[in-house]
Amino acid sequence: MHHLQLTRSIAIRPSLLPTPSNSVHPSHVRTFASSAKSSGPSPDLPIQPVSWGRDKIAHFTSSQTQSYKTKLYNAKIKDKLHKGDYDSSLSLYYQMLDENISPNATTFCSVFQACSLSSDLNNLRLLHNDILRLRLDSDVSVLFGLMLAYAECGRTDLAHQVLENMAHRDVVSWTFLIRQSIQNRRFHLAIWVFGEMILAGAIPDEVTLVSVLSAISRSDHLLKQGREVHGYIIRRGLEANSILIGSLVNMYAKLGKLALADRMSHGNRGNVVVWTTMIGGSLKAGDATGAIRNFLELMNSGNQPTEKTISCTLRAVSLLGSSRIGSQMHGQVIKRGLKADKFVMSSLLDMYAKSGVGSSVCRKLFDEMPQRDVVCWTALISAHGRTGEGAAALRAFDDMIQAGVCPDSVTFTSMLQSCCSSGMLAEGLRYFDSMIKHHKIKPREAHYACLMDLIAKGGRLEEAYKIVQSLDMRNDGRVWEVLLRACKVHGDVGLGELAARRLLEIEPENPTRCYQLLSDIYAAVGRSEKSKNLRSLAK
């Protein structure tokens, strides 16, 4: 990407602060005064404005104008940033300075992001110089933006300097930086800031430690750092703190260390949050039986499950597909008066859809729900699809659109599965095309797998070829690969050659996969020489 070669620094510019004018006409002062006297003080105007005199009134007016102009430029900069036009974002910033309009913290947070996204270290250094001269280096949000930008540009040494020069190096400031890192999903950065905090001699409080444990729990590769923080907590004598124990249990459970999480949770089983964390951890590890076992232990302990606890357990039941346990959980939902909770009801509906009890039960439950989000609609579509009611699934999808609910990636997976189970080839292909064209959802592996089943299942390859040719997805190489694989299943050489030719036109830089598939088709029908030649090309 072309970067702006801007070498001007704020050091050689005129003052960026607004200069009040002395050109206010006396009549304006008299009008202002009489208006205030007749109508009383306005909450939007300063008290006793007449006592200000011309200079102060002019300064006030100039300041208001400056503030408006700054906000206007900030909006323009942010708009360019969201559109991915990083150079224009920076151009607007420098234009702002040329017009003597003062940037603020919001301005810098945006242009820092523009630099980090375009790896523009040159302009980032100039911006660093600007915040020092404008004395904005005491604003922690500005410092975080600068530090994050340096780190994103691969200059952790400069990010370290920002931390070292931070004016207020108290626990609140350090914790703010850690939490901002988490909010921006920069979990490794949060751990790094925590380490710098310890090296600086600052003593983290409970909020800091909970935050850093949260950061560790959100990444699958930070177990070592998690153990180190755990050791620090023990050295500080905080191992009895119930809030920190809950955070440690959550961390170990989410990192898949269920034995450690279980060991940590002993002695704190009176805390329903700990129980819920153990259920969620078992669920993430794919241990649905363990999740249900934890729920039963929770019930036997005399604790009351929360909405989140029941929702997690219902997801575990849906993985097992047990209608008996599902009915018992439904009883718990009714007993605890949770039929109005949309998260619980969504999980209950999804559980019934996956347990194979029949679409009529799901439809009845769906109709009783006070609120229906995309999860509820998707569960209903899935229930119809599992029982081979493809037409009903399509009607449910149309009803969802009419209700103003936008389908997501999972919804389209359910739709494609429904079409596949009912042999609705044309409808399935059109929904796949609509997903990309109208709903702007990028296909995932699950969608392509459904497409493969849809095309190969009925053997209607010629029909599939014609439909694909007529839709926007004709330019998607993966679609042609799916069709080519279906040709391999059915031994259709002619259509396989057409699909291979189209795949090579779209992805000429990656011919190996195409040659291998076509070679397999030739081998299956006894054309060993052609198969051998293509195999040699694929190497």
pLDDT digits (tens, 9 = 90+) for 29-79: 333 334 334 444 444 434 444 444 555 444 444 455 777 888 898 999 988
Are residues 138 and 173 in contact, defined by beta-carbon separation less than 8 angstroms?
no
Judge whether 432 and 443 are in contact, CB under 8 Å: yes
Query: Do 129 and 108 meet the contact criterion of CB atoms below 8 Å apart?
Result: no
Per-residue pLDDT at 409: 94
The last residue of one of the domains, among 165, 200, 215, is 165
d(CA 136, CA 146): 11
**The two three-digit tokens of residue 113, written as one number:** 């992001």
Q: Are 278 and 294 in contact (CB under 8 A)?
A: yes
Position 53 in a domain: yes
What band does 388 get if pLDDT is binned at 50, 70 and 90?
confident
Cβ-proximal residues to 142 (8 Å cutoff; 6+ apart), any chain: 105, 108, 109, 131, 136
- Alpha-carbon distance 56 to 51, whole Å? 9
Give me 485's structure tokens: 């694989």
* 26, two tokens: 């006396």
448 token code pair: 């392509």
- Compute the distance between CA of residue 358 and CA of residue 374 in angstroms, rounded to an integer: 20
| Residues 300 and 337: beta-carbon distance below 8 Å | no
Number of compact structural domains in the chain: 2
CB atoms within 10 A of CB 163: 19
How buried is residue 292: exposed, middle or buried, by Cβ count under 10 Å (0-12/13-18/19+)?
Answer: buried
User: Which pair of tokens denotes residue 387?
Assistant: 């029982």
> Is the Cβ–Cβ distance between 503 and 521 less than 8 Å?
no
Q: Are 298 and 331 in contact (CB under 8 A)?
A: no
Phi, psi angles (nearest 5°) of residue 51: -70, -15
Q: Which of 35-39, 309-313, 441-445, 521-525 is the least confident region?
A: 35-39
Is 73 a member of any domain?
yes
Is residue 10 included in any domain, yes or no? yes
User: Rounded CA gap, 490 and 479, in Å?
Assistant: 17
Domain for residue 160, yes or no?
yes
Looking at 114, 144, 165, the residue that finishes a domain is: 165
Say whether pTM exceeds 0.75.
no
Q: What are the tens digits of pLDDT across the range 446-475?
A: 888 888 888 887 778 888 888 888 877 788
d(CA 123, CA 306): 51
User: What's the pLDDT at 431?
Assistant: 93
CATH number at residue 143: 1.25.40
Does residue 241 form part of some domain? no
- Cα dihedral 531/533/535/539 (nearest 10): -170
In a domain, 95, yes or no: yes
498-538 pLDDT per residue, tens:
989 988 888 888 888 888 888 989 888 888 888 888 877 76
Determine what percent of the chain is predicted with pLDDT higher than 70. 86
Q: Please, what is the end-to-end C-alpha distance for the chain in angstroms? A: 35
Distance CA 380, CA 290 (A): 27
In the prediction, which pLDDT does 453 show?
Answer: 84
Domain that holds residue 46: 1-165
Question: What is the DSSP annotation of 233-247?
Answer: HHHTT-TT-HHHHHH
Question: Is 326 a domain residue?
Answer: no
Among 400, 461, 458, CA closest to 431: 400
Give the residue from 381, 384, 327, 387 showing the smallest Cα distance to 351: 327
Instruction: Note whether 291 and 268 are within 8 A (CB).
Output: no
Closest CA to 102 of 77, 68, 76: 68
Residues 6+ apart with CB under 8 A from 169: 200, 202
Mean of pLDDT values over 304-327: 84
Q: Which of 111, 138, 165 is the last residue of a domain?
A: 165
- Which single residue is written with the structure tokens 């040494």? 157
